[in-house]
Amino acid sequence: MPKSGGLNSASPDTIKAMPPEMLFDYLAVRLNGPKAAGKKIGLNMSFTDLKQDYGLIVENVVLNHGKPLAQADARVTLSKATLDAVQLKEVTLEQAIARGDIRVEGRREALAEFLG
């Protein structure tokens, strides 16, 4: 049987074109269930360029998004382009934070854990 590397349906152009809601749905499908087991991570994300705020929560091996959370582990302020660059591995999370492209208030390791 020939071995295939599989299909990557999310090209960089596709990722960059997705609105946040669609991107969060995409991330929910790609969630690593075994790594997410037993975790509860709540993030509030504020997009400076879009002037939109979202709440993300990983709980019971599921990622859900909606309105900002009343109780979040961290508040993350960034642009959509910065999130795309981190997701596409054009820049690391640490580099984006060091450059000031991402500001994290609260438990910074919650964001790293979420992206992991």
Structure confidence by residue, pLDDT tens digits, 27-36: 999 999 999 9
What is the model's pLDDT at position 1?
46
Between CA 74 and CA 44 the distance in angstroms is: 6
> Angle, to 10 degrees, between the axis of helix 20-29 and the axis of helix 80-87?
20
What is the model's pLDDT at position 8?
53
pLDDT surpassing 80 at residue 56: yes
Nearest residue to 41 (alpha-carbon basis) of 62, 57, 54? 57
Which tens digits make up the pLDDT trace of 57-95? 999 999 999 999 999 999 999 999 999 999 899 999 999
- Three-state SS for 8? coil
pTM for the whole thing? 0.85
What is the model's pLDDT at position 9?
59
pLDDT surpassing 70 at residue 113: yes
Q: Are 72 and 44 in contact (CB under 8 A)?
A: yes
Burial level of 79, CB count in 10 A (0-12/13-18/19+)? middle
What is the model's pLDDT at position 104?
97
Between CA 95 and CA 102 the distance in angstroms is: 9
